[in-house]
Amino acid sequence: MNNLRTVVLLATISGLLIAVGGVVGGVGGVIIAGGIAVAMNFGSYWFSADIVLRSSGAHEIERTQDPHLFQMIEEVANRIDMPMPRVYVMDTPQPNAFATGRNPKHAAVAVTTGIRQMLTDRELRGVLGHEMAHVKNRDILTSSVVATVASAISMLSFFALWFGGRRNGIAALIAALIAPIAATIIQAAISRSREFQADHDGAEAVGDPEALASALAKIEAGVQRVPREVSQATAHLYIANPLGGVNVGRFFSTHPSTDERIQRLRDMR
């Protein structure tokens, strides 16, 4: 169901791009904006892992520095049928984690020192399953495609606001004001859908939905207590929104409510 929802949302945001392009400059407008957006996001996708890891302050560690963590990650990687990822640590008391990489062969998993201290091994294993499920499901690719389309919509909306008003009247004004908001809402909805899917697939691979449910409850409390400043562009990658108490509204949130995630996980038992 989550995968079907993602497909529907991708089709919707693609249709929105075509509609806005038609208002501004017809087929040519769509092609030009799409080409610019692809060029802008191609590098971001190709080098996404390094960009996110650097911006998060994560540093790579070797097996000898934390053999127990490596053993857990290796076990989960085998369960989820993907190669051993690179391992990174973020020195922060906030309990959180993320995975990145354009495919399983170029994956990296990053955990905070806070999550290592807060969670049991069983709970951390559930978190690692969730994160590696993101990579296995090519969610970085999905988010990159959505970002490309959303960028193109924003560009076309800018053109509509400044150059299309006299030519297309009210349609151009609507495209300029409404389309970027609609694209942002759809982008956030796709992100939430991928979180649900990673919860399900990770818990299924590890064979312990309750472990992830318990971890999410602790992480949510920890994130609210110790918020962390990160880029809005990368916040969606974390298992819980690292910005903590920042409330952007349900429709604009990149993460589902923790209560709903926990309930879905417990329904799997």
* Region of residue 138 (phi > 0: left; psi between -120 and 50: alpha; otherwise: beta): left
Annotation says 131 is catalytic: yes
Question: Rounded to whole angstroms, what are the CA distances from 97 to 21, 237, 239, 264?
Answer: 38, 8, 6, 20
Give the active site residue among 123, 131, 195, 220. 131
| DSSP assignment string, the chain | -HHHHHHHHHHHHHHHHHHHHHHHHHHHHHHHHHHHHHHHHHHHHHTHHHHHHHHHT-EE--GGG-HHHHHHHHHHHHHHT-PPPEEEEE--SS--EEEE-SSGGG-EEEEEHHHHHHS-HHHHHHHHHHHHHHHHTTHHHHHHHHHHHHHHHHHHHHHIIIIIHHHHTHHHHHHHHHHHHHHHHHHHHHHHHHHHHHHHHHHHHHT-HHHHHHHHHHHHHHHHHS-----TTTGGGBSS-TTTT----GGG-SS--HHHHHHHHHHT-
H/E stretch holding 7 reads helix 2-46
Nearest CA-CA partner of 159 in 33, 27, 11 = 33
Active centre residues (catalytic): 131
